[in-house]
Amino acid sequence: MKRRTVLRTGAGLVATVLGGCLGAPPRATGPRHAPDAPADQPRQTPARPDLTIGTFDFEATDDDALRVFGTVENRSGAQRTATVVVTVRVAGDDFERETSVTVAADGTAEWAVTFDVAYDEFTSNGDLNVTLA
């Protein structure tokens, strides 16, 4: 007899707990379609540059100088040439190196520059910036 009472009470408790969870599914809020652009100001998607810095990193050379290296990606269907500008700041002094790289259509090219800056000095108090000119 007690077993039936426990089962009825358990079933009622489960139904009560899950009652709120099993209600209506969530509905979307907000407008169903994006608003139209104003007639005098059409939307414009910003142009993506053909050339971009893919990756870059730094390491110590055999003589403990700073070496910065990376890749340039070409998103266009034509061969492009880029100038990679690498700026290093250590203890308030700026050092800059440039290198030119030619990248095949829809391809990637590697680049590297070395600075007359001690690797340990850079890692303890340095800043690095890589851009395309």
The reply to whether the predicted model has a pTM over 0.75 is no
Residues 6+ apart with CB under 8 A from 105: 74, 76, 77, 78, 79
Question: Residues 122, 126, 130, CA angle at the centre, nearest 5°?
Answer: 105
Tell me the C-alpha distance between 114 and 108, whole Å: 21
pLDDT in tens, 52-105: 999 999 999 999 999 999 999 999 999 999 999 999 999 899 999 999 999 999
- CA proximity to 60, closest of 1, 5, 16, 114: 114
* 42 vs 77, residue with greater confidence: 77
Give the per-residue pLDDT at 47.
Answer: 82
**Stretch among 10-14, 40-44, 127-131 having the lowest mean pLDDT:** 10-14
Q: How many residues does the chain have?
A: 133
How sure is the predictor about 32, in pLDDT bands with cuts at 50, 70 and 90?
confident
Segment (H or E) for 70: strand 65-74
Give the per-residue pLDDT at 1.
Answer: 53
Tell me the C-alpha distance between 54 and 107, whole Å: 11
